[in-house]
Amino acid sequence: MITKEQSGAFYTGQYRNLLAEYGYGEQEITERLEQTWQEMFEGDEDTRIYHESGEDMGYMMDTGNLDARTEGMSYGMMMAVQMDRQDVFDRLWKWTMTYMYMTTGENAGYFAWSCATDGSRLSDGPAPDGEEYFAMALFFASHRWGDREAPFDYGTQARDLLRTCIHRGEDGVGYPMWNPDNKLIKFIPNCEFSDPSYHLPHFYELFALWAYPEDRSFWKEAAEASRDYLKKACHPVTGLAPEYAHYDGTPNHVRGFGHFFSDSYRVAANLGLDWEWFGADGWEREAADRIQAFFADKQPDNYRRYTIEGEPFEEKALHPVGLLATNAMASLAAEGPNARASVELFWNTPLRTGVRRYYDNCLYLFALLALSGNFRIWMP
C-alpha cells in the first residue's frame, strides 16, 4: 500500500500533467514540447543552443559567454534522455568525455566546468551541479536504452563518477564534492560552503538505489541533509534563497553572491520536482507557495536582484524567462492561489532569443517537461 508519505511519482508511477489539469489540450502540449526541442536543438542561429561537432559529437553553447559548460552539457543530456534522443545524448557525452574529463591532477575524475567550443579548456576546475546532472542523466540512459561499450556504458560511468564525488581526497589528493561530515554539496570541491540551487534530494534518493552498494547510505543521508538545508536557506517569509550560503543556510556574501539572483531561481524548480517525484516533505509546498506569492505582483520585465528578505536592487534580472519558468515548475508542489497564474504566465511566454537565451531556455524546457508530466524517473 502507498502511504500518504509515499505519494510521489516514484511510488505511484503517475506523473501530473499540470498543463492538462489547467485546461491546455494534449495535442497542444505535445506540439509545444516538440517545437521547443526543435528550436533549441535544431533551430536557427538566434534560437538554438546545441551544435554538432564533427561526425559524432555535439555541445551546448552558453550563448552569453560563448563557451560550453558542464551545467549545459549535463542539462542537454537530461533533456535528450527525457525526449528519447539517444543520438543527441551520445554526441554530448562523447564531447564531454573527450574535452572536459580530467585524468590527472587534484581534479582527476571530474569534468572541467568550462571549455571553448573547439574543446580547449578554459578552466581546470569542476562545478558540482554538472557532475550530479551527468550522473542522473547517465543512470536514466542506462535504464532507458541499455549500456554499450565505453564510454556508453552509462551505468558504470554514473557509478564511477559518484564514487569520485564523495571519495576524492581520501588519499590526500584533491577534494570531494560533498562534505563527508554534513553530507552537503559544495559550491566547488575546494571550498566549504554551498549553493542552495545545487541541492537535489530527488536525485540523491535515486543515487541511494543505484550507486555502488558501499556508497548508498551516503546518498540516503545526503537526501535528508539537503531537505533540511533548504529549510534553513530559504527565507521563512519570501521563500527566496541566496546564490551562495554557508552550511548553516545563512547567505554567504563572498563576491556579492549572498542574494537572490540567477543560480537561486533553480531552487523553486527543484522543490517542485522533489515533491512530484517523492512527496517527502510538506514544507516544500509551503516554500513553493511563498516564492510564488512573492512574485505574484511583479512583472517579468521588472524582475530584479533581491535580498532574500525581498528588498529589490536596481540591477535587473539577467534571466527573467528562466525565473518565471522555475516559478511555474514550483506549481508541482504549490497549493496556493498563485500556482495556476504562474503556469499560465509561463505558457504565454515564448522561448527567449538572442545573446542571453542559454540559461533561460534550459530552465524553460525543464519546466515544460515537468509541467507536462514528462520529466520522469527512468527505472531499471
Instruction: State residue 7's pLDDT score.
Output: 83
Q: Out of 39, 62, 67, 71, which one is annotated catalytic? A: 71
Determine contact, residues 72/60, Cβ cutoff 8 Å. Answer: yes
Instruction: State residue 288's pLDDT score.
Output: 98
Instruction: State residue 5's pLDDT score.
Output: 54
Burial 321-336 (b: 16+ CB within 10 A, else e): bbbbbbbbbbbbbbeb
Q: Out of 263, 274, 284, 360, which one is annotated catalytic? A: 263
Per-residue pLDDT, averaged over 53-62, amounts to 97
With a pLDDT cut of 70, the percent of the chain lying above it is: 98
Instruction: State residue 2's pLDDT score.
Output: 45
With a pLDDT cut of 90, the percent of the chain lying above it is: 98
Domains 1-48+228-380 and 52-177 share a fold: yes
Is residue 71 among the annotated active site residues?
Answer: yes
Q: CA 58, CA 365: separation in Å to the nearest integer?
A: 19
Is residue 147 among the annotated active site residues?
Answer: no
pLDDT in tens, 273-285: 999 999 999 999 9
CATH architecture assignment, domain 1-48+228-380:
Alpha/alpha barrel (1.50)
Instruction: State residue 94's pLDDT score.
Output: 98
Q: The C-alpha cell of 163 is what?
A: 564514487
Q: Give the residue from 185, 339, 296, 313 showing the smallest Cα distance to 261.
A: 313
Q: CA–CA distance from 107 to each of 124, 127, 189 (Å)? A: 8, 11, 9
4 pLDDT exceeds 60?
no
Q: CA 374, CA 298: separation in Å to the nearest integer?
A: 29
**CATH number for the domain whose boundaries are 52-177:** 1.50.10.10
Residues 279, 333, 165, 206, Cα dihedral to 10°: 30
pLDDT in tens, 8-36: 999 999 999 999 999 999 999 999 999 99
Please identify which residue in the block is written with the cell numbers 564531447. 95
Average pLDDT over the chain, rounded to an integer = 97
pLDDT in tens, 329-353: 999 999 999 999 999 999 999 999 9
Instruction: State residue 291's pLDDT score.
Output: 98
Its pTM surpasses 0.85: yes
Instruction: State residue 86's pLDDT score.
Output: 98
323 pLDDT exceeds 50?
yes
Per-residue pLDDT, averaged over 178-193, amounts to 98
Per-residue pLDDT, averaged over 305-328, amounts to 98
**What are the domain boundaries of the chain?**
1-48+228-380, 52-177
1 pLDDT exceeds 60?
no
